[in-house]
């Protein structure tokens, strides 16, 4: 379930070891990116090669930071596999061996960013489901559409929810094939209906501790099920459309019914969260009138949506199975 993470140490012995005694002498594993910044290769060939980035900061407090997708670094850049508990421990052990750090030295590194995700199969078209999700948690999460995914984020980006539609992502890759390996990957996965929610907490250890109950890499190793609990809480916060295709069925055939219909379509498109966000931009004297107006209309965000129930159930079952079985 772990994907991207950022961890840091202020241990000057480890910082000095990584910078002075190791990085410059290990060109096999390290690629120079910029001063005091290096890429740690996973040693895989071709397009499956992935990197964790290590940065050494100079200043009054010398520190060393490692960040990147530990999932792709372990499984390969083209892999869609999720990272299991034992695999995360193995990935950390391998990093320690490459860095020639003592056993469990990385366990003490503080985590300031953690991304938890799951690639799942759902009983609906993943592209359609992505479009049906129109809100997350509360109005402070702003929506954005990007290539292959939809994103909900707080204003300062310290909490982020993403929905990846792998079918769209794979279709985009078809015009950008760089190697035979990637072509084979696309052929193998283009028919899969993969839906991937990812949730990120970042910008400080306090945020990660508050939301997930994790402070260090060692905490992830010892309490990996907390990631599952966090994931299960977050997926329930997605807000779905209830009525994707509203019909205009006038009784009197007047203009008021027509304008109410257009307003209803807009409300159901935005969802409750988006509608509240729009109302918040009105002048104070008009906000209460706007709220009274929409109360008379249907504002559906999937409370009784069968799509939401089926998708959430599929995500719950497959995330729990990730801990129980050897293969998803």
Q: What is the pLDDT of residues 129-149, one digit of tens each?
A: 888 888 898 777 888 888 778
Mean pLDDT of 185-213: 83
pTM of the model: 0.77
Enter the tokens of residue 167. 């079918």
DSSP state of 21: I
**Locus of tokens 């193998």:** 188
pLDDT tens figures, 285-328:
888 888 877 766 544 455 567 788 889 999 999 998 887 754 43
Render pLDDT for 168-190 as a digit per residue (tens, 0 to 9).
Answer: 655 555 555 556 566 665 565 55
**Of 73, 63, 58, 88, nearest in space to 7 by CA:** 63
Phi, psi of 100 (to 5 degrees): 55, 45
pLDDT category of residue 20 using cuts at 50, 70 and 90: confident
Burial class (CB within 10 angstroms; exposed 0-12, middle 13-18, buried 19+) of 141:
buried
For residues 149 and 197, what is the distance between their CA atoms, to the nearest angstrom? 9
Question: How far apart are the C-alpha atoms of 117 and 1, rounded to whole Å?
Answer: 5
| Mean pLDDT across 54-69 | 86
Please name which of 116, 85, 86, 91 lies closest in space to residue 106, comparing C-alpha atoms.
Answer: 91
CB 191 within 8 A of CB 155: no
Question: Token pair for residue 304?
Answer: 């009784």
Residue 200 near residue 1, CB atoms below 8 Å: no
> Per residue in 82-117, pLDDT tens?
999 999 999 999 999 988 899 999 999 999 999 999
Q: What pLDDT score was predicted for residue 263?
A: 80
Helix H or strand E segment including 114 = strand 110-117
Compute CA distances 69 → 38, 97, 174, 177, 285, whole Å.
Answer: 15, 18, 23, 22, 48
b or e along 285-297 (b: 16 or more beta carbons within 10 Å of the residue's beta carbon)? Answer: eeeeeeeeebeee
Alpha helices in 176-247 (DSSP H): 180-189, 205-212, 217-222, 225-235
pLDDT over 50 at 15, yes or no? yes
Q: Encode burial over 24-47: b for 16+ CB neighbours within 10 A, e otherwise.
A: eeeeebbeeeeeeebbbbbebeeb
CA–CA separation, 136 and 78 (whole Å): 29
| Residue 273 three-state SS | helix
Tokens of 69: 């997708």
CA distance linking residue 246 with residue 317, whole number of Å = 32
The confidence score (pLDDT) of residue 124 equals 84
User: If you search the block for the tokens 């203009």, which residue do you land on?
Assistant: 255
Backbone angles phi, psi at 317, to 5 degrees: -60, -45
Rg over CA atoms, the chain = 23
**What's the CA gap between 185 and 3, in Å, rounded?**
20
């Amino acid at each position: 379930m772990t994907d991207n993470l950022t961890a840091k140490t202020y241990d000057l012995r480890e910082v000095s070891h990584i910078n002075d005694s190791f990085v410059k002498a290990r060109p096999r594993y390290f690629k120079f990116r910029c001063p005091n910044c290096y890429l740690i290769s996973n040693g895989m060939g071709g397009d499956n090669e992935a990197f964790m980035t290590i940065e050494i900061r100079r200043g009054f407090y010398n520190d060393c930071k490692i960040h990147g997708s530990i999932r792709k670094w372990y499984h390969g850049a083209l892999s869609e596999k999720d990272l299991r508990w034992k695999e995360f421990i193995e990935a950390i052990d391998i990093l320690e061996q490459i860095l020639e750090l003592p056993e469990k030295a990385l366990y003490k590194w503080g985590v300031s960013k953690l991304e938890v995700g799951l690639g799942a199969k759902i009983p609906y078209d993943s592209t359609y489901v992505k479009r049906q999700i129109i809100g997350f948690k509360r109005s402070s999460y702003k929506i954005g559409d990007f290539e292959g995914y939809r994103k909900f984020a707080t204003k300062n980006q310290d909490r982020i929810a993403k929905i990846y539609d792998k079918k769209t992502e794979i279709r985009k890759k078809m015009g950008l094939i760089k190697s035979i390996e990637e072509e084979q990957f696309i052929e193998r996965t283009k028919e899969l209906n993969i839906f991937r929610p990812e949730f990120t907490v970042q910008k400080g250890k306090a945020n990660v501790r508050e939301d997930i109950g994790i402070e260090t890499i060692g905490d992830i190793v010892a309490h990996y099920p907390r990631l599952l609990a966090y994931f299960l809480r977050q997926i329930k916060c997605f807000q779905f459309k209830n009525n994707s295709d509203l019909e205009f069925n006038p009784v009197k055939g007047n203009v008021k019914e027509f304008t109410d219909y257009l307003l209803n379509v807009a409300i159901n498109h935005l969802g409750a969260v988006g509608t509240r966000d729009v109302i918040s931009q009105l002048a104070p004297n008009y906000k209460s009138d706007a709220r009274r107006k929409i109360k008379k209309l249907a504002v559906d965000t999937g409370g009784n949506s069968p799509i939401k129930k089926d998708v959430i159930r599929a995500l719950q079952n497959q995330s729990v199975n990730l801990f129980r079985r050897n293969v998803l």
